[in-house]
Amino acid sequence: MAVRVLIVDDHGPFRLWAGKVLRAGGMDVVGEAETGAGAVELAVELRPDVVLLDVRLPDLDGFAVCRRLDEAGIAVVLCSSRDYGERAAGTPALGFLPKERLSAGELRRLLG
């Protein structure tokens, strides 16, 4: 069964690219959101296996969204073009993935 992913990023071109990369790797992109509030709403509704969550969103801090999703029992992998790996380690996220290293294989590795 394919891993079900919700992509959250405020940049449409990145969401489009990430969706193509993950689908090409056999993952099922079940939805996209461009805000933290939209991420929480969609994740609760869709119950994906993992949320690929940008750290910098226009309305809410990605770390705050991560905590909300964790409280709802939804797995999160944080991503950014900036290095937030150390800060991400102190969150309930499964891990941090630099955007330039995004692949289905890397996401699967973080899912364990």
Q: Please write the tens of the pLDDT for every residue from 57-90.
A: 999 999 999 999 999 999 999 999 887 667 777 8
- 50, with CB counted inside 10 A (0-12, 13-18, 19+), is buried
Could you write out the three-class secondary structure of the chain?
Answer: CCCEEEEECCCHHHHHHHHHHHHHCCCEEEEEECCHHHHHHHHHHHCCCEEEEECECCCCEHHHHHHHHHHCCCCEEEEECCCCHHHHCCCCCCEEEEHHHCCHHHHHHHHC
| Fold adopted by 6-99 | Rossmann fold (3.40.50)
pLDDT value for 68: 97
For residue 56, list its beta bridge partners: 61
CA dihedral 27, 34, 61, 14 (to 10 degrees): 60
Q: What does pLDDT average to over the chain?
A: 95
**For 73, how many CA atoms within 13 A lie in the half-sphere containing its CB?**
4
pLDDT value for 89: 74
**Confidence band for 7, pLDDT divided at 50, 70 and 90:** very high
pLDDT value for 65: 97
pLDDT value for 87: 72
